[in-house]
Structure 1
Amino acid sequence: MSLLTLLLSLSLASPAALPAHEGIVVVVVRHAEKDDDDKLDPSLAGDGEVRAQALATTLAGAGLDRAIATQFRRTRQTAEPAAAAAGIDVEVREINAGNAASYATDLAADLRAMPPGSTVLVVGHSNTVPGIVQALSGQAAEAMPETEYDRYTLVLLDTDGGARVITSRY
């Protein structure tokens, strides 16, 4: 599946509405449904495991170059099936009290420095995904309720420094 086909299927856009993208593609999602097995660092629930597999299926053939998650099990477990299918490891990018204020901005700078043609999966949390999307795109992102697990946002970083945002569900 080509990147254009992936983008079209993810965004439900018509072929005329979305041209081929030569910049950087960032797929930003919240971790899948979490279990109640650990108050501080829960793993994915059964529904979350199914959703992580659905994400991997959705991204099959996208040519992921990187998969980034926080240090928490639920984000890593959400990213792992897609990363494994792409033959890459999940990179852990820790978020903590010391870097929470600059996390999204620092991540966006790192991603913008990637070579054109790169595709990245970023798995965050309900309280970090909107900030990551905004830091990447410069556009306000809708808040994410604690009960929402199926939103993904494509941020298309253009080679001229601009960005386009496509939000949908999987």
Structure 2
Amino acid sequence: MIPNRFSLLAPALLCIALAACKTHAPDPAPGATFVLVRHAEKATDDPRDPVLTPDGMARAQRLAESLRDTSLSAVYATAYRRTQQTAAPTAQSHGLAVTTYDAKQPASEFAALLRQRYPDGGVLVVGHSNTVPDIASALCGCAVEAMPDTEYDRTITVRIAADGSAVMERSRQN
């Protein structure tokens, strides 16, 4: 029996149809990642603007090491010495300057500025026990528990997808 034209053409048409269905959609934009920490342990040398203790300096170094393989576009810290000293090792290791932000700026305004300025990439924000939870909450649109004045080891990471959806993760830094 001699095969008809359709039986010879069917496998070829099937391959063409499968190849046409196998289009690859472009990968979505990676979005933004904001890493927020409170400054490291502070000394008692100045009640208004203390420096970091040796333990605090060590914690700042460990923060830089933990973010070594993270792509950062910016590092932000308030004007206080303890936040600047916490941010400095990470900024230096990424070849970035520390951008100073006003600790008294409303968290919602600062978060909006960060989201607008950095729609993708990574940003480290170093703040205070009374500012970091509010900034994280404003970035993710979720509730963030308060941070006691004795807590120095919490890291809050807020990932914002290209579609604007946000996910918050909490971890502890040793």
Q: TM-score range by the shorter chain?
A: 0.7 to 0.9
Gaps of 5+ in 1: 1-19
Is residue 60–residue 85 contact of structure 1 (8 Å, CA) maintained in 2? yes
% identity of equivalent residues: 49
2:49 matches 1:46: no
Q: Answer with 1 or 2: which has the greater Rg.
A: 2
Is residue 103–residue 131 contact of structure 2 (8 Å, CA) maintained in 1? no
Give the counterpart of 1:158 among 142, 161, 165: 161
| CA displacement at 1:115 relative to structure 2 | 4.5
Higher mean C-alpha displacement, 43-52 vs 116-125:
116-125
Amino acid at match of 2:94: A
Alignment deviations for residues 100-141 of structure 1 (CA, whole Å, 9 cap, x no partner): xx2x11111111113443100000100001100110001000
2:86 matches 1:78: yes
Amino acid at match of 2:124: L
Q: Pick closer, same or farther for the CA change 1:151–1:21 going to 2, 3 Å.
A: farther
Q: Pick closer, same or farther for the CA change 1:62–1:111 going to 2, 3 Å.
A: same
Equivalent-residue separation in structure 1 for 2:97 and 2:159 (angstroms): 23
Is residue 56–residue 82 contact of structure 1 (8 Å, CA) maintained in 2? yes
Q: Pick closer, same or farther for the CA change 1:115–1:131 going to 2, 3 Å.
A: closer
Higher mean C-alpha displacement, 131-140 vs 114-123:
114-123
Higher mean C-alpha displacement, 104-113 vs 65-74:
104-113
Q: Pick closer, same or farther for the CA change 1:126–1:61 going to 2, 3 Å.
A: same
Partner of 1:147: 150
Equivalent-residue separation in structure 1 for 2:132 and 2:95 (angstroms): 25
Partner of 1:64: 72
Q: Secondary structure at the residue paired with 1:43?
A: coil
After superposition, the CA RMSD in angstroms is 1.4
Partner of 1:126: 129
| CA displacement at 1:21 relative to structure 2 | 7.8
